[in-house]
């Protein structure tokens, strides 16, 4: 191995430093929340009222998405399966423990401590999803040290952006369209812009898939697909809001899936199905319904959003991704701008429309619970009237539908701006020479960072093929196997 990419010193030292910092911060600042603190339990405590039973099922579902769904999905390259899955594992594990601290200081900090419960873990996993989406933009072109640095820097930027948007702009974003998908997308694009590799503009000999890697990747798609309703509904109000979120997510995913099959067959020159489209485009509906997922948008709107998101995502992969690489120095390896950026913008627009159309006639008094910032402010006589109908309703800001829509627009632009700037700066840090960055020749190759099993050598011919004739012979050999 080249000394410039050796992990022998870099990775252990960096991990050791991170662990010391985290140990100190956990020791000083982290304690149990009320639901996990034995001292606060007594003979009148009903164990079944513990928040664990409300939050853990969603935490478990998102765990599957993070570690199995993303892990398998990112293992689609023939020679980068180990790296796709294992770097996802490493990055996700660190991102979650780091997000517990960073989000904790902004959301769960009082009496001088971060109070830890399962809800913290769930929020941290959403922050982790942000990092893994951004990872997709630089897949195959980064070292594990670089990915840990990306997580180290992205999580604080995300935590600050999330806190500022929710505290000061105050928006509706139940499915995380703005704060998860758009932030992750434009942060990742900022990173890949800073890490631009002109030598990879025409592709790479190892930038290829195989029969088995595609199967593994579509397994990741299936895990994400199955558990996406939990992702979109986890932080919504319990009851009818969460019920609608699950319904809308499933309907949106279903419509985007069958649309993806139709589009890939129509636009394939031989009228066949393309695995890359099935692995990614089928998921577009889950993102597209996100911003309005808990609103009364109607099932038909969720179905239409799934179709719209899938169509935008499909044509983005086909035309926009190559354009960005050739003309804007943005080498978006997994096409995150299509699955998370374009669909996120459609979803945000749909959410704004849903806010403008929301009336008490459609929602009843619960409108002021779903759109909490439109609830009357403290001291307004209407607030007392609504609180008799909805006990526990909190005072709002008294915004009109038009005002709330403008705040949603402001949140979209401010999130994109913050994430893009954060991504560019993070990318510049990742370019530093001691980050074990692979050379262009060593990209998309597990052998650079892993001890490979003996059967890996049997496909070495594919890695050294440089002429079109050789590649054609290889494809012919593959078709006969």
In eight-state DSSP terms, residue 110 is E
The DSSP call for residue 48 is G
DSSP state for residue 294 in the 8-state scheme: T
Mean pLDDT of 359-387: 92
Kindly report which listed range (7-11, 373-377, 453-457) carries the lowest average pLDDT score.
453-457
Q: Does position 260 have pLDDT exceeding 50, yes or no?
A: yes
What distance in Å separates the CA atoms of residue 103 and residue 436, rounded to the nearest whole number? Answer: 29
Residue 394 has pLDDT above 50, yes or no: yes
Q: How far apart are CA 237 and CA 368, in angstroms?
A: 12
> In the block, which residue shows the tokens 């190759």?
445
Q: How confident is the model at residue 1, as a pLDDT? A: 52
Q: What percent of the chain has pLDDT over 70?
A: 94
Q: Write out pLDDT tens, residues 310-367.
A: 999 999 999 999 999 999 999 999 999 999 999 999 999 999 999 999 999 999 999 9
pLDDT tens for residues 263-320? 999 999 999 999 999 999 999 999 999 999 999 999 999 999 999 999 999 999 999 9
Q: With a cut of 70, say whether residue 458 has pLDDT above it.
A: no
- φ/ψ of 109, rounded to 5, equals -100, 120
Alpha-helical runs (H) found in 195-328: 211-233, 240-267, 275-280, 284-288, 299-315, 321-327
Distance CA 213, CA 451 (A): 19
Q: How high does pLDDT run on average in the chain?
A: 92
Residue 413 pLDDT > 50: yes
**Confidence at 466, pLDDT banded by 50, 70, 90:** very low
- What whole-number distance in Å separates Cα of residue 462 and Cα of residue 450? 18
pLDDT of residue 469: 44
Q: Note the pLDDT of residue 471.
A: 43
**pLDDT band with cut points at 50, 70 and 90 for residue 167:** very high
pLDDT at 108 over 80: yes
Q: For residue 113, list its beta bridge partners.
A: 110
Distance, CA of 81 to CA of 96 (rounded, Å): 23
Kindly tell me if the per-residue pLDDT of 56 is higher than 90.
yes
pLDDT digits (tens, 9 = 90+) for 228-241: 999 999 999 999 99
pLDDT at 45: 82
Q: Using 50, 70 and 90 to split pLDDT, how confident is the model at 423?
A: very high
pLDDT at 474 over 50: no
Contacts of 131 (CB under 8 A, 6+ apart): 91, 92, 95, 150, 151, 154, 155, 184
- Mean pLDDT for 160-177 is 95
Domains contained in the chain, CATH given: 9-39+48-431 (1.10.3430.10)
Average pLDDT over residues 139-167: 97
Q: What's the rounded Cα separation, in Å, for the pair 27 and 128?
A: 22
Strands 113-116 and 30-32: parallel
Q: Nearest Cα to 314, choosing from 290, 287, 286, 343?
A: 343
Can you give the pLDDT at residue 3? Answer: 67
Q: How far is CA 225 from the centre of its chain?
A: 13
């Amino acid at each position: 191995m080249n000394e410039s990419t050796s992990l022998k010193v870099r990775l252990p030292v960096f991990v050791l430093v991170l662990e010391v910092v985290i140990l100190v911060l956990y020791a000083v600042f982290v304690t149990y929340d009320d639901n996990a603190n034995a001292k606060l339990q007594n003979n009148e405590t009903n164990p079944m009222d513990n928040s664990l039973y409300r939050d853990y099922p969603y935490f478990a579902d998102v765990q599957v998405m993070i570690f199995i769904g993303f892990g398998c999905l990112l293992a689609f390259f023939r020679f980068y399966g180990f790296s796709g899955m294992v770097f996802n594992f490493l990055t996700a594990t660190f991102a979650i423990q780091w997000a517990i601290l960073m989000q904790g200081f902004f959301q769960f900090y009082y009496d001088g401590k971060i109070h830890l419960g399962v809800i913290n873990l769930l929020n941290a996993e959403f922050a982790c999803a942000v990092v893994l989406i951004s990872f997709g933009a630089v897949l195959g072109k980064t070292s594990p040290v670089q990915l840990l640095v990306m997580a180290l820097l992205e999580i604080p930027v995300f935590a600050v952006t999330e806190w500022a948007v929710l505290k000061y702009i105050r928006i509706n974003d139940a499915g995380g369209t703005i704060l998860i998908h758009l932030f992750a997308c434009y942060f990742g694009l900022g990173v890949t812009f800073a890490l631009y590799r002109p030598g990879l503009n025409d592709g790479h000999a190892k930038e290829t898939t195989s029969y088995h890697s595609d199967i593994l990747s579509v397994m990741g798609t299936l895990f994400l697909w199955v558990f996406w309703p939990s992702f979109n509904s986890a932080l919504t109000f319990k009851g009818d809001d969460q019920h609608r979120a699950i319904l809308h997510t499933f309907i949106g995913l279903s419509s985007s899936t069958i649309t993806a099959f139709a589009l890939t067959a129509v636009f394939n020159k031989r009228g066949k199905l393309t695995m890359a489209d099935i692995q990614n485009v089928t998921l577009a509906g889950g993102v597209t319904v996100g911003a309005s997922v808990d609103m009364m948008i109607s099932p038909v709107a969720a179905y239409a959003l799934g179709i719209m998101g899938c169509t935008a995502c499909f044509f983005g992969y086909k035309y926009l991704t190559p354009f960005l690489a050739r003309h804007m120095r943005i080498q978006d390896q997994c096409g995150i701008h299509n699955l998370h950026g374009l669909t996120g913008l459609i979803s945000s627009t749909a959410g704004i429309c849903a806010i403008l159309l929301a009336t008490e006639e459609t929602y009843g008094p619960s409108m002021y619970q779903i759109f909490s910032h439109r609830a009357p402010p403290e001291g307004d006589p209407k607030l007392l009237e609504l609180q008799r109908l909805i006990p526990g309703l909190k005072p709002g800001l008294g915004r009109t539908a038009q005002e709330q829509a403008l705040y949603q627009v402001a949140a979209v632009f401010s999130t994109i701006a913050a994430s893009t700037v954060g991504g560019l700066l993070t990318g510049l840090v990742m370019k530093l020479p001691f980050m074990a960055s692979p050379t262009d020749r060593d990209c998309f190759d597990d052998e650079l960072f892993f001890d490979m099993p003996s059967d890996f050598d049997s496909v070495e011919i594919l890695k050294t093929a440089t002429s079109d004739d050789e590649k054609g012979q290889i494809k012919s050999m593959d078709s006969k196997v």
